[in-house]
Amino acid sequence: MADRRTSGGSEPQFGKMSAGRAASIGRLLTRECCSLLDFYSKRENLPADVGVADPRLVSVPPPSSQLDSRDQLWRLHVALLQCRHLMESAIAKEDEELGVDAGEYAGLRSTVKERLKLLAFCVSELVGAGDGPAVPTPAFSDSLERADDSLFELKLLVLRIFKEVDYWAKTAVAILQTMSKEQARNPRLRRSIRSTRR
């Protein structure tokens, strides 16, 4: 791949990845999650406040004001990877239980999944996650297994997953925008983040 890029004569664009670009992707994900939630709630006729009190599906360290940008970004990265896994699992389970849907819902769902994937890549690039420790697997397998018993429980679980993605998308936007502003003020910050991780 490196040879090909070189042969093209263009400078590779990895260096252009920034917190601002990732924040833009996070905003897209937020909008698309919102659309998906609206669509799903209306289609399944579920109340908007259902599952509000349920515990979070993504298990990451709790937020703290004492976490620096690097740690916040790492926390976000872990959360997004779990969300991505949750999303893929939910889609697979839905397709398994309800059959493959090629309609608007499937499009929205796929879009959220792909956008989440891109956001995770971006955040990963920002934190240089390739060299970091392994990301813990989210502890929701039991929930998905239990959903086999009840279709309604599956719907509720899928809704929870969508809401979890929405939550972390918004969290990502907030973190990344803050980071983008900091990068704008101090361009060396991004390099320091990556070098610290390595």
Partner 1 sequence: MVSLSEKHISTDADSNLEITSHLVITPQSPVIQIGTNFTATCVITDTAETTADDLYWNLSQSIIPKNQYTKINESALSVTILVNSEKPEWLYCHSREKSPYISVNKGKFIHGILLTKIYPPDKPKNLTCIATQEKAFILPNLKCFWETAGYHTNEMSPTTYTLHVEVMLDDQVYNVSTKGNSAQVKMAIFPHHMILDVWVVARNHLGSKESEHLNKDADWFVKTNPPSGVKVLSDQTLPTSLLINWTPPIFRDYLILKYQIRYCPNGSDDWINVPVVDIAEDIQSFRLQNLQPDTVYAIQIRCKIAKKDHGYWSDWSPRVTKKTPEDRPTSKPDLWTIIADSEHKNEREVTLICRDPVFSNGRITSFNLEIQTQKENIGNGSMAWGYISVNRSMADSSQSQMVTILKKISLPYQSYMMVHVTAINSIGTSPQESLGIPVKTHERNLVENLKVWPQEGQLFLKWNATSNSSVTEFIVEWVSGIGIDWQRENRNTRQTALKGNIEKFICYKISVYPIYYGWNGKPATYFKWKGKPATIEAFLEEGAPLEGPSVRLNVKPGRNEAELVWNEIPLHKRQGFITNYTIFYSSSNEIHEITVPANITSYVLTSLTGNTKYDTWIRASTIRGSTNGTNHSFTTLKYAPGEIEMIVVGVSLSFLFVVLMTMLLCIYKRDTIKKNFWPWIPNPGESTIVNWSPDYPLKPETPKENCLSDISVLDMDVNDEKSVLEEDKANLALKKDKYLSEEHSSGIGGSSCMSSPRQSVSDSDEGGEIAETTASTVQYSSVVASSGYKGQTPCVPPQQVIFSRSESTQPLLDSEENPDIVQEGSRQSELFPQVPCFTQAAWNQDSASSSKFNQLEMEPQEALLSLDLCPLAEDSELTTPADRQSAPVSSYMPQLCGYRSQ
Binding residues for partner 1 (CB under 8 A): 4-5, 7-14, 16-17, 21, 24-25, 27-28, 30-31, 110-111, 114-115, 117-118, 121-122, 124-125
| Residue 99 CA to its chain's centroid (Å) | 25
CA 102 – CA 14 distance, rounded (Å)? 34
Q: Distance between CA atoms of 121 and 80, rounded to whole angstroms?
A: 9
For partner 1, which is the closer residue by CB, 95 or 148? 95
Nearer to partner 1, 10 or 66 (CB): 10
What is the number of other CB atoms lying within 10 angstroms of the CB of residue 41?
Answer: 16
**Which residue, 31 or 70, has its beta carbon nearer to partner 1?**
31
With CA atoms as reference, report the closest residue to 138 among 77, 58, 72, 62. 58
Residue 22 CB, nearest approach to partner 1 (Å): 8
CB of 28 to partner 1, least distance (A): 5
Q: What is the DSSP letter of 138?
A: P
Which residue, 19 or 156, has its beta carbon nearer to partner 1? 19
